[in-house]
A = this chain, B = another copy of it.
């Protein structure tokens, strides 16, 4: 294998960087991979930076110093996010999604890899300044969006279980009261899943009264972890007073009018 041309190196560089969001690569890594001098790679990176900016494909950050290098931060443009959330609302408000009891069928959307990936990019953008150690969710429906958020932030995902499992070793279990149904529920998390004094981001698919999010916050106290943010895909308009504050919700579910087959959902304000 000979040397590579500039356009080949830039193509390879973009592939490697966008495959590994928020991961730092040293210049040496690319020098070895593309058999090129450091000055050449530097020039390549300048070009790659320009193209990601101009094409709104995210941005490339250079980190100076000994452990320095370059990393790719995936972002979506404001217009793209607006359009994406608007289209999601159109899909979600389709009348055949109404389930008896006033529920909305949404697992096909929550489990779509490409939709989950976009949501992960949006959340990672919202919380990118926080130096997050773990993304936390509780099984099951929020797992895909939480995994993609963790992927974009380049950090591990932690999944809280509803029951104690033998394969988790010693666990911390807490009881919490569901904010909307007032039922007592359980959460269980392996002792070894989170290091003490970590910074965590809570991600979930749905928030009504906020009881589950509150439960996760309480669970994090047991691990002496700091909750730096909460992101949910959908929150309900009512109750307006949730059990947690300072959460980011991408969509607001206003009302499900079963009798009229109508689902009223829209992108949340201030996004």
Q: Does A184 contact B (CB under 8 A)?
A: no
Which of B11, B99, B107, B150 touches A11 (beta carbons < 8 Å)? Answer: B11
Instruction: From B20, B51, B141, B143, give the contact of A8 (CB < 8 A).
Output: B51
Bound complex: CA A25 to CA B113 (Å): 17
Query: A111 with B158: in contact, given A101-B166, A147-B116 (CB under 8 Å)?
Result: yes
Interface: A240 (CB within 8 A): no
Given A18-B18, A151-B114, A51 and B159 contact (CB-CB distance below 8 Å): no
Q: Is the CB of B166 within 8 A of A99?
A: yes
Q: How large is the interface on A (under 10, 10 to 19, 20 to 34, 35 or more residues)?
A: 35 or more
Mask: chain A, 133-158; 1 = CB below 8 Å from B; 0 = not: 00000011101100110110010111
Contacts A15-B57, A18-B15 given: A193-B108 contact, CB under 8 Å?
Answer: yes
A13 beta carbon closer than 8 Å to chain B: yes
Q: Do B8 and A192 touch across chains, with their CB atoms under 8 A apart?
A: no
Q: How many copies does the complex hold?
A: 2
A68 sits at the interface (CB 8 A): no
Is A239 among interface residues, defined by CB-CB distance under 8 A?
A: no
* Chain B proximity of A233: nearest CB distance (Å): 14
Question: What sequence of 0s and 1s flags, for each residue 74-100 of chain A, a beta carbon within 8 Å of any chain B beta carbon?
Answer: 000000000000000000000000011
Q: What residues of chain B lie closer than 8 Å to A157, measured between beta carbons? A: 111-113, 144
| Residue from A13, A14, A113 with most neighbouring chain B CB atoms (10 Å) | A113
Q: Is the CB of A190 within 8 A of B101?
A: no
Enumerate A16-32 residues with CB–CB distance to B below 8 Å.
16, 18-20, 23
- Residue with the greatest number of chain B CB neighbours at <10 A, chosen from A7, A11, A19, A107: A11
The chain B residue with its CB closest to the CB of A105 is B169
Q: Check A55 for interface membership: any CB of B closer than 8 A.
A: yes
Q: Which of A33, A50, A107 has the most CB of B within 10 A?
A: A107
B residues in contact with A12, CB < 8 Å: 14, 51, 55, 57
Q: Are B20 and A114 in contact (CB under 8 A)?
A: yes
A130 / chain B contacts, CB cutoff of 8 Å:
none
Bitwise interface map of A from 191 to 215 toward B, beta carbon under 8 Å scored 1, else 0? 0110000000000000000000000
Which 6 pairs of residues, A with B, have the shortest CB-CB distance? A113-B151, A7-B7, A8-B51, A11-B14, A10-B11, A111-B157
Residue pairs across A and B with Cβ atoms less than 8 A apart, 5 shown, are A6-B7, A15-B55, A104-B167, A113-B147, A143-B143
Seed contacts A105-B167, A106-B167; 15 additional CB < 8 Å A-B pairs: A4-B54, A4-B55, A7-B11, A8-B50, A8-B51, A11-B11, A11-B51, A14-B18, A104-B167, A105-B190, A107-B193, A108-B156, A112-B157, A113-B156, A140-B140
